[in-house]
Amino acid sequence: MDFLVAHFSQAVFLFLAFFSLGGAVGVVVLRQPVHAALSLLASFLGVAGLFVLARGEFLAAVQVLVYAGGVMVLFLFVIMFVNVRAVGKEAQYLRPLVPLAVVGGLLFSALALTAMWALGRRPPADAFPLVSVAGQEVGNTEAVGWILYREYLLPFEVVSVLLLVAMVGAIVLGRKPKEMEKA
Amino acid sequence: MVTIGHYLVLSSVLFAIGAGGVLLRRNGIATLLGIELMLNAANVAFVAFAKQHGNLEGQVVVFFVMAVAAAEVAVGLALLVAIFRRLQSIDVDRLSAMRW
């Protein structure tokens, strides 16, 4: 019991990591697009939990609202709109599996080695700046809002324009072509 | 104690799985799902670095990544719908024509 109390954060981390990695594997392995999308949802929720563990409470909320909410609904909507009936008969994966597996393995081992190198380096800095404004403890959301609307105001506005452009682009792309409308 | 190494190992595994999904799956929707996984892996790394350095800028970058990912999903799915209207299929292997 003492062991669990002493290593509680590791236990929580392992649980959430298992969740997010299991969901990720499901995305690649599961045949039905709906199953893959729901598996991705599990992965998103696990990552949201990891954000909480790393003192990013605001980002965890945004993760649940934007990804688990908006993006997932969009995916499921399109999957049901497209309604791929032929799934299950065709091959699931592209052909050149072996070279891709080698490339993927190399990519993964390079990334993992970098991470291992960082493992056991300096201990994390004091988390106080993540939850404070001007030396006063306020909470993560206020702190993010403070920095977002002061130092990152221009990028924030640019991103809002980007979202508008993406919305218009999606509407234009999703419109039926003229010859199909007549038919 | 959960160190930055824990987060980085998890992030790299997530990224590799997402990259594998993008490279291997034939279904166009599965490709987009893999891209989402890779973006999420990058977000995990950013949040871990923000914690490591006690600096909020990493979390602000994650916020922007999420906004760009939302835009990417909207346009990508609209493209898939347009492709499906033309080909009655979203198999990325069949997208070999440079013009309709």
Position B60 in a domain: yes
What pLDDT was estimated at residue A121? Answer: 64
- With contact defined as beta carbons under 8 Å apart, do B28 and A142 qualify? no
Position B24 in a domain: yes
Position B99 in a domain: no
Evaluate if residue A1 carries a pLDDT over 70: no
Position B58 in a domain: yes
- Going by the DSSP 8-state scheme, the letter that residue A42 receives in this structure is H
Position B100 in a domain: no
Evaluate if residue A6 carries a pLDDT over 70: yes
Q: Which residues of A touch B37 (CB under 8 A)?
A: 24, 27, 40, 43
- Looking at the partner chain, which of B32, B50, B78 has a beta carbon nearest the beta carbon of A173? B78
Q: Which of A67, A97, A154, A156 to mutate to probe the B interface, most B CBs <10 Å?
A: A67
**What distance in Å separates the CA atoms of residue A19 and residue B65, rounded to the nearest whole number?**
22
- Looking at the partner chain, which of A17, A111, A128 has a beta carbon nearest the beta carbon of B12? A111
Q: Which residues of A touch B80 (CB under 8 A)?
A: 78, 82
The domain of B64 spans 4-94
**What distance in Å separates the CA atoms of residue A17 and residue A23, rounded to the nearest whole number?**
10
Average pLDDT over residues A18-30: 90
Evaluate if residue A95 carries a pLDDT over 70: no
**CATH code for the domain in which residue B58 is found:** 1.10.287.3510
Task: Provide φ and ψ at A75, rounded to 5°.
Answer: -60, -50
Position B72 in a domain: yes
Taking the CA of residue B56 and the nearest CA in chain A, the distance in Å comes to 6
ipTM: 0.90
What pLDDT was estimated at residue A134? Answer: 74
Instruction: Report the number of distinct structural domains present in chain B.
Output: 1
The whole model's pTM is what? 0.86
Domains of chain A in start order, with CATH, are 8-86+128-182 (1.20.120.1200)
Q: Which residues of B touch A170 (CB under 8 A)?
A: 74-75, 77-78
pLDDT per position as a tens digit, B64-88: 999 999 999 999 999 888 888 888 8
